Amino acid sequence: MKLITEEIDQVEVIVEERNGKKNLFIEGIFLQGEIQNRNGRMYPMQTLSREVGRYNENFVTKGRALGELGHPDGPTVNLDRVSHKITSLRQEGNNFIGKAQILSTPMGNIAKSLLGEGVKLGVSSRGVGSLNKTNEGYSIVGEDFTLATAADIVSDPSAPDAFVDGIMEGKEWVWDGDVLRERYAQKTYKRINTLVDQKRLDEQKLNVFQDFLANL
C-alpha cells in the first residue's frame, strides 16, 4: 500500500471560551470525495464514507483522533509531535467537515503561536491504500484505504518537503503484524533531514535521489 496525503489549503480558526478558559480550534474541509484533486487522485465516496465511519467510531468518539504539526514521515501518529485532537468529522455532500482542538503540547503551542500571528495554515489527511490508475490519467484510491489521521496541520510545502513527500508516497507500505513498515524510504528521509542548510541540500539532493532510485 502507498502512503497517501492530501492537503487542504486553509481552515477557519475558532476561539471558544468554557469555564473561563479559552480553547483554540480549527475547522474546515478535511477530506473530499468524488473529485479529482491536485495530486491527481480521486476518492470514491463509498470508500471514504466507510473509512470515516470507522475512524469516527474508533478514534473521534473515544478522544483518540490525534494529528501532528508538519509533514510526518509515515502513517503512524507520533505522540511527541501531536498538536491537536480532532473532535468531530461530519459529512456535507462530498466533503467531510472536521473540527480540531489545538492542544497545550509543545507542537500545539507552536501551532497556537503561528495562528496567533496570523499565519495561514492548512490541513493534510494521511492514510495508506492502493492506487488504481485510470485511462484519463488520474488514480482512484482503492477500497483498502485506511485513514491514519483526518488532519495534520501543515503550511505550504517547501521544495525539500515536496521531495520527501514524493519519495514517501512512492514506496510500498506493508503490514507486519499490527505495524506498518517501510524500507529504504525512511533511511532516505533521515538523510535529507540531516542536510541543515540549503546550499548543502542543493549539492547533495541529486546524489541522495540517485541513491534512492538504485535501492528500489
- Per-residue pLDDT tens digits for 152-205: 998 854 333 434 444 455 566 666 666 666 655 555 556 656 555 555 655 666
Find the mean pLDDT for residues 114-143: 91
Is 215 inside a domain boundary?
A: no
Confidence of residue 37 (pLDDT cuts 50, 70, 90): confident
Q: The dihedral of CA 145, 151, 154, 156: what is its sign?
A: positive
- Which positions ≥6 away from 30 have C-beta within 8 Å? 8, 86, 89, 96, 97, 98, 123, 125, 150, 151
Considering the domain boundaries, does residue 100 fall inside one? yes
What is residue 149's three-state secondary structure?
A: strand
* pLDDT of 67: 96
Query: What pLDDT score does 180 carry?
Result: 63
The answer to whether the beta carbons of residues 71 and 152 sit under 8 Å apart is: yes
Has residue 105 got a pLDDT over 70? yes
Residue with cell 497545550: 104
Which grid coordinates belong to 107? 507542537
**Degrees, nearest 5: CA angle 88-21-13:** 45
Q: Name the residue with cell 480558526.
A: 13
Q: Output the average pLDDT for the chain.
A: 82
Domain presence at residue 152: yes
In a domain, 213, yes or no: no
Angle between helices 159-170 and 184-193 in degrees, nearest 10: 170
Let me know: does 26 contact 97? Beta carbons within 8 Å: no
What letter represents residue 135's amino acid? N
Question: Quick check: is 49 catalytic?
Answer: no
Using a 10 angstrom Cβ sphere, with 0-12 exposed, 13-18 middle and 19 or more buried, the burial of residue 44 is: middle
Question: What pLDDT sits at residue 160?
Answer: 38
Q: How far apart are CA 149 and CA 141, in angstroms?
A: 16
Cβ neighbors of 177 (< 8 A, separation 6 or more) are none
Q: Between 88 and 163, name the one with better pLDDT.
A: 88
Q: What is the mean pLDDT of residues 65-88?
A: 94
Which residue in this structure is represented by grid cell 473515544? 62
Establish if 62 belongs to a structural domain: yes
* 42 occurs within a structural domain: yes
Residue 199 lies in a domain: no
- In this prediction, residue 79 carries a pLDDT of 96
List 49, 84, 113, 124, catalytic entry: 124
Q: Which three cell numbers stand for residue 28?
A: 474546515
139-141 and 41-42 strand pairing: parallel
User: How sure is the predictor about 1, in pLDDT bands with cuts at 50, 70 and 90?
Assistant: confident
C-alpha cell at 55: 475512524
The stretch 32-46 carries a mean pLDDT of 91
- The residue range of the domain holding 14 is 2-156
Q: Is residue 163 part of a domain?
A: no
Judged against a pLDDT cut of 90, whether residue 63 lies above it is answered with yes
- For the chain, the domain total comes to 1
Please confirm, yes or no, whether 124 is among the known catalytic residues.
yes
pTM summary value: 0.74
Please give the average per-residue pLDDT across 113-124, as a whole number. 86
71, 67, 111: which is closest to 89 by C-alpha? 67
Query: Catalytic residue among 71, 84, 125, 139, which?
Result: 71
Band of the pLDDT at 92, cuts 50, 70, 90? very high
